[in-house]
Amino acid sequence: MKTLLSVFTTFLLFVSCAQPQEAVSPSAQLITDVTIINVRSGNEIPSQQVVIDSGKIKTITTVIEHPESYKTIINGAGKYLIPGLAEMHAHIPPPTSSALHTEETLFLYLSNGITTIRGMLGHAEHLRLRERAKNGDLLSPRIYTASPSLNGNSVKTKEEAIEKVTAYQKEGFDFLKIHPGIKREVFDQVVITANEVGIPFAGHVPVDVGIRHAIESNYAAIDHVDGFIEGLVPSEANVRPEDNGFFGYNFTPLADVTKINELVMLSRKHNIWIIPTQSLYERWFAPATADDLLQDPEMKYMPASTLANWKARKGQYTTDNPDFNEAQWQQFNDIRRQLIKALQDGGHGILLGSDAPQLFNVPGFSIHHEIAGMSRAGLTPLQILQSGTINPATFFAAEDEYGTITEGLSADLVLLNNNPLQDIKHLKNVAGVFVQGHWLSKEAIDSRLVEIAEARAKR
């Protein structure tokens, strides 16, 4: 009996060993020996083998059998893997731009590890771009797009509000873009109709609406920390809201920072996400000179006509503006930093966004200026990472699609040469980018950037 059992056991072992290994898909890609950054906890998970196939993260393991079977092997030794970043206040070129210009702009985002963008001034053409990006027909970050602008000129009546909100929802825009100038009663109709048809709204806070009413109306997100400085002005100051200047700059001397906590708590109560776009206020509306900013290396990716326009417009807001002075700007910026830090610590959440391409904010590259501004406001490297990865996924109710490095999620990933948790500036040191499983090596990225710079220099 023992002999028969021994023979049977040996037979089972033989059969087991003889089973062929599961064939490696020809399209599978392998990242070896990489350290994964868990953006939820901040933990570093070393020596991981990551298999990517069909646009998804297929396997994460410590040991991979027969790595030589993979046609594409990326050496991750000494490198760090994070989820792709989101630029939550981006601009996609208008349809009047050439297809080439649009493709170049989308690549500029990708070159800096941005695999998701939230387009903030939409057009029907952007809906088509969104689908092409989703289907893999266009090398592009994942696209979410706002509707065309709802502002004081485009929606002057309640009837117009009902008509346009309903139409934009039917056309398939992801959310409504609120711009300045809307009167309060018209804004309230926008909110009523948006809730009825089921489309979120976000963006600016019109001065006739005010920050408290805006928050209580349940914006999905407020961009630029718009309206908050006006909300710090005591009512007894009897200011005219329309005299606020550049995002409340004129009211800086009147702002009562002891009111910050009240606004933060109100934002938390109503689940308001905040996109600071702090780089606008430390580059465009700032004492830094246009000539100094034009020396930034990424400026070569912008057409000369755009750079000339940026220089002229900056002068109109700063050096040629009699109401601008550096001391007041410093106070204004200090208050903004206090607001950003308080909204991070006690509010609902912060989302990473730089408003590119606004003045001196080159798509993709400007995200690093934004990150530097967030860091100066007191956010930690992990908090900044979360603002550009898991927080956007949560905002879009897409945590089962992207935002973390998890088996089954989209392979939107950034391979870094250094640890961003030690120094957030390491996000600049990209070794490669995966967008929906498509691998862009550092060499491929640099080669394409050279082409873009040369092409734009000729235009």
Task: Kindly report the three-state secondary structure assignment for every residue of 204-230.
Answer: CCCCCCCHHHHHHCCCCEEECCCCHHH
Q: Nearest to residue 229, comparing CAs of 209, 244, 213, 214?
A: 244
pLDDT of residue 97: 93
pLDDT of residue 457: 84
pTM flag (> 0.85): yes
pLDDT of residue 16: 35
Q: How many whole angstroms separate alpha carbon 148 and alpha carbon 166?
A: 13
pLDDT of residue 344: 98
Mean pLDDT value of segment 152-167: 98
CA torsion through residues 311, 316, 318, 319, sign: positive
Say which amino acid occupies 96. Answer: T
Q: On the CB side of 320, how many CA atoms lie within 13 Å of its CA?
A: 8
pLDDT of residue 456: 87
Q: Nearest to residue 348, comparing CAs of 424, 275, 248?
A: 275
Q: Nearest to residue 140, comparing CAs of 114, 172, 101, 173?
A: 114
Q: How many whole angstroms separate alpha carbon 342 and alpha carbon 200?
A: 25
- pLDDT over threshold 50, residue 11: no
Q: What are the distances in angstroms from CA 383 to CA 42, 425, 429?
A: 9, 14, 19
Mean pLDDT value of segment 193-204: 98
Query: Phi/psi of residue 12, each to 5°?
Result: -65, -40
pLDDT of residue 9: 39
pLDDT of residue 290: 95
Mean pLDDT value of segment 142-158: 98
Report the share of the chain in percent with pLDDT over 90. Answer: 93
Per-residue confidence band for 188, with pLDDT thresholds at 50, 70 and 90: very high
pLDDT in tens, 261-312: 999 999 999 999 999 999 999 999 999 999 999 999 999 999 999 999 999 9
Say which amino acid occupies 29. Answer: Q
State whether residue 390 is helix, strand or coil: helix
Per-residue confidence band for 399, with pLDDT thresholds at 50, 70 and 90: very high
Say if strands 201-203 and 221-223 run parallel, antiparallel, or are unpaired: parallel
Mean pLDDT value of segment 350-370: 97
Structure token digits, residue 138: 């266009």
- Compute the mean pLDDT over every residue in the chain, rounded to the nearest whole number: 94
Q: Nearest to residue 384, comparing CAs of 415, 354, 407?
A: 354
CB atoms within 10 A of CB 295: 9
pLDDT of residue 22: 67
Please identify, in words, the CATH class of the domain defined by 84-397: alpha beta
